[in-house]
Amino acid sequence: MNASHASKGHDLSTSNGLALQRTRFAGERTLMAWVRTSFSMITFGFSLVKFFQYLRTDHPDGADAGVHYLGLVMILVGIGAISVGIWEHWGLLKSLNAVDESKRTTPALYVAGVVGLLGISALVTAMIRTRG
């Protein structure tokens, strides 16, 4: 380390630590973007399914079954998106933990897991069709 860095109080390990922290936070923001996107797709797909299920019970001849399947596909795409986001974030954490050795996870990972479970339950609920 040269004299100019020592006089300013900068330490190379501090700089690397801050860079790791910034990378961790950037990964967390990216995961939360995946969560927002997938949650929107899951809720919109579920809303389509339930709305057209309501129309089918109220007006059985006017409801289109294709929209029901579109809703199911949107839920599946949302579940796939959250899975990709979790996979990507997990890989980032693994590579950062190899350098940092703190073995930390982020709260966003837990939120993403909960959204994934909610997506699976929405899919199961949407697939159970009530006739009537």
Asked if 65 and 99 count as a contact pair (C-beta separation under 8 A), the reply is no
Looking at residue 73, what is its pLDDT?
93
Which tokens go with 51? 């709305």
φ, ψ of residue 11 in degrees (nearest 5): -120, 140
| 13-17, 49-53, 55-59, 100-104, range with greatest mean pLDDT | 49-53
The predicted structure's pLDDT at residue 93: 87
Note every long-range contact of 10-13, with CB atoms under 8 Å and residues 24 or more positions apart, other chains counting.
none
pLDDT of residue 129: 64
* % of the chain at pLDDT higher than 90: 45
Give the pLDDT band (50/70/90) at residue 60: low
d(CA 18, CA 15): 5
Q: Give the model's pLDDT for residue 61.
A: 61
Residue 131 pLDDT greater than 50, yes or no: no
Number of neighbouring beta carbons within 10 Å of residue 52: 20
**How far apart, in whole angstroms, are the C-alpha atoms of residue 121 and residue 51?**
17
pLDDT value at residue 130: 45
Greater model confidence, 91 or 53: 91
